Amino acid sequence: MISRERNLMYSLEPKEVPHINTKYRRIVTKIPVPESLPILERLQKYEPRSMTGQPPIVWDRAEELQVYDKFGNMWLDWSSGVLVTNAGHGRREVRDAIIQQAEHGLLHNYCFPSEVRSLLAEKLVNLAPANMDKAFLLTTGAEATENALKLARTYGHQHGGKEKNVIISFEDAFHGRTLGAQMMGGMPGLKTWITHPDPDIIQLPFPDGYYHENLTFEDFEADLAIRDIDPDHVAGVILETYQGATACFAPQDYIQRLRQWCTQHDALLIFDEVQAGFGRTGKFFGFEHYGVEADLICCGKGISSSLPLSAVLGNSRVMDIYPPGAMTSTHTGNPICCAAALANIDLILNEHLVENAEKVGKVMQAGLYHIQQQKSDIIGIVQGRGLVYGLLIVKPGTKEPDRALATKIVQHAFEQGLLFFSPVGGATVKIAPPLIITEEAVQEGLEVFASAIEQARV
């Protein structure tokens, strides 16, 4: 028997909670469900401890806005399965595309040509900004950012010699969990295992509007000078369109000046759109809010609303650097994943989900600002755009993150049928529902969220 307290953040001791039955939420059992404990305990026994730490719901199925267990409970999902299900959970069109491709008989083809991969590459290029004409299909967001690192460095070496090797990223950024991605990431606690960090990958402060509220682009240039970095030795600058740990965007002027700087010094400007792409922010690609061109875009998560797929988009002057066979991946453009992505993108476009994210996102934003006004002593800042927001929970009267309180808020919401993933970046409650969400569902979720905050403070 595994200890019921080993979930790290959430107790596995079943608790009586009020029963709920609304259009969007249903709770009819103790939480966690007593009958689900053998499943949770089996996972604890056979998986690494790192896989614990989320609210103890055993997902059975998920449809559109809701996640179900097999014990009669239903949650309004404000996680999108960590920003994946942009078009909603389990959409029939996506499921049908997966089934049809599977029944057609092609499940894998390495990088041998396939029609479905050609169709997806074409669709992505047609949706990308006009300066982009190539799409490289991969599996995970980390694989995409690693590939962008490789391309930027190789491009730099070809255009400025081996000295043009510096990669600039930003503090508090998250670019994935593989070696290169974590060296580009800006969270020191995630990098303690790296014994020989790359000295030419550096992080600079991000203008987050809270901890660095007065940061300007002059500070970017000054930081490089202090580090004695020649701007012409910079191969690329990579940043999340919004910082994934908080949902904060940089000021538009800062990014526009960064674009000019990259052009001046022939450095690639790379946007990590793994969280931001495919309508999440109210634009098809989130970096469009900045009014700049990217040299490379890293995509993932919402690209399929389901199966593992990612992509790097760019111009052939960069994307065609490597000769045939020198830049591939075993599961590049898996046929079933490509079929899912094509169906998903059609849903996003045909159902105007980008526009819905912008419209309904304004209702979400207004409601979250109202909650912040009521709880301004513990909500340090609300940041985001479209249908992604982050509320930083702090200790009263300070800017010090309060992870324990943030976790209690997530737990109380979970017990009332509103599902978040665990706090990120220390103490940020992240809000990211599927883009099909309605104003009615947003309003109900906001009421539950406000109640959860109130209960967590007791």
Q: What is the DSSP string of 223-250?
A: HHHHTT--GGGEEEEEEESEETTTTEEP
- Between CA 433 and CA 418 the distance in angstroms is 11
Q: Could you tell me if 436 and 24 are in contact, meaning their C-beta atoms sit under 8 angstroms apart? A: no
- Between CA 214 and CA 210 the distance in angstroms is 9
Buried b (16+ CB within 10 A) or exposed e, 404-422: ebbbbbbbbbbbbbbbbbb
Domains of the chain (ranges; CATH) run: 20-87+352-456 (3.90.1150.10), 92-350 (3.40.640.10)
Residue 14: cis peptide before it, omega within 30 degrees of 0: no
User: Strand, helix or coil at 258?
Assistant: helix
Reported as a single tens digit per residue, the pLDDT across 65-85 is 999 999 999 999 999 999 999
Q: Could you tell me if 57 and 68 are in contact, meaning their C-beta atoms sit under 8 angstroms apart? A: no
Q: What share of the chain is helix, strand, coil (3-state, %, to 5)?
A: 40, 15, 45
pLDDT bracket for residue 425 (50, 70, 90): confident
Tokens representing residue 189 in the block: 């606690």
> What local confidence, expressed as pLDDT, does residue 4 receive?
43
Q: Alpha-carbon dihedral of residues 383, 387, 388, 394, nearest 10 degrees?
A: 50
Q: What is the mean pLDDT of residues 25-50?
A: 97
Res. 312: pLDDT tops 50:
yes
> What local confidence, expressed as pLDDT, does residue 205 receive?
98
Q: Alpha-carbon dihedral of residues 224, 225, 231, 235, nearest 10 degrees?
A: -30
Please calculate the CA angle 252-257-244 and round it to the nearest 5 degrees. 50
| 191 DSSP 8-state letter | -
- Between CA 263 and CA 45 the distance in angstroms is 52
Res. 6: pLDDT tops 70:
no
pLDDT bracket for residue 2 (50, 70, 90): very low
